[in-house]
């Protein structure tokens, strides 16, 4: 499945998707030709056969408007690993840490996350990040002051708001019961940046 499409084929596929979204039905050969600017409906027919051969659509024989979009043509999904308890000494995304994986559609978050991390503890509760939440993290080793980051200090992975001073970095919790942690900027390893959150209420 999912051979690569030519430019024209991709346009045709987008056109079909748009048509279905607007009208609730698939276009006929003639309508597709009209939309794409073809003079002949057979051009549309040829494209459809190509799309079928490559596994993007299914054509129902002798059925009018029998163009069925298949998964490959629908929302391309990324399976992202869910990282649970992070074992000391291992990279955060090491297989040992992966709890399971969850399909996360592209476009759900404006910044594409690299992995999901299960939050432990309520040190960020005032920022709306609760114990057990999944946070979407984009892997990055740099961050700007004010961003919520996933950071590692001495093999401990924490989620905090980053404040950068001159030569030092402070990890600010969002909970009065916790104290800020200040370390030299060189002792801090940024693992990623918080780009979104998923909570599953029971």
Query: CB atoms < 10 A from the CB of 172, how many?
Result: 19
User: Distance between CA 151 and CA 138 in Å, rounded?
Assistant: 12
Distance separating alpha carbons of residues 9 and 106, to the nearest angstrom: 21
63 binds a second copy (CB under 8 A): yes
122 to 161: interface string for a second copy, x by CB under 8 A: ---xx-xxx--x--------------x-------------
For a second copy, the closer CB: 19 or 38:
19
160/172 Cα distance (integer angstroms):
6
178 interacts with a second copy by CB under 8 A: no
Residue 10, helix vs strand vs coil: helix
- Torsion angle of the four alpha carbons 83, 195, 104, 4, in this order, in degrees rounded to the nearest 10: -110
Q: Pick the closer one to DNA by CB: 46 or 99.
A: 46
Span interacting with DNA, options 4-12, 68-76, 178-186, 188-196, rule CB under 7 A:
4-12
Catalytic residue status for 85: no
**Smallest gap from residue 29 Cβ to DNA (A):** 4
40 is catalytic: no
Q: Which does 140 bind (CB under 5 to 8 A by kind): a second copy, DNA, none?
A: none
Residue 123 contacts residue 176 (beta carbons within 8 Å)? no
| Residue 137 near residue 115 (C-beta atoms within 8 A) | yes
Active site residues: 123, 160
> Which residues sit at the interface with DNA, rule CB under 7 A?
6-9, 28-31, 33, 36-43, 45-47, 50, 59, 61-66
């Amino acid at each position: 499945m999912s051979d690569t499409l030519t430019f024209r084929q991709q346009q045709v596929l987008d056109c079909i998707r748009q048509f279905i979204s607007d009208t609730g039905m698939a276009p006929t050969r003639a309508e597709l030709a009209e939309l794409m600017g073809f003079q002949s409906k057979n051009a549309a027919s040829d494209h459809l056969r190509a799309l079928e051969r490559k596994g993007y659509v299914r054509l129902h024989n002798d059925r009018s408007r029998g163009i069925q979009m298949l998964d490959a043509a629908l929302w391309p999904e990324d399976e992202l690993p869910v990282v649970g308890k992070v074992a000391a000494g291992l990279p955060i995304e090491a297989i040992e840490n992966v709890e399971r994986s969850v399909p996360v559609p592209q476009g759900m978050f404006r910044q594409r996350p690299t992995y999901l991390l299960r939050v432990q503890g309520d040190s960020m509760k005032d920022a709306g990040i609760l114990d057990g939440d999944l946070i979407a993290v984009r892997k990055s080793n740099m961050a700007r002051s004010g961003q919520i980051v996933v950071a590692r200090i001495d093999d401990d992975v924490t989620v905090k708001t980053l404040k950068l001073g001159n030569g030092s970095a402070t990890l600010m919790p969002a909970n009065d019961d916790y104290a800020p942690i200040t370390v030299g900027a060189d002792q801090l390893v940024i693992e990623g940046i918080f780009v979104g959150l998923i909570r599953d209420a029971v």
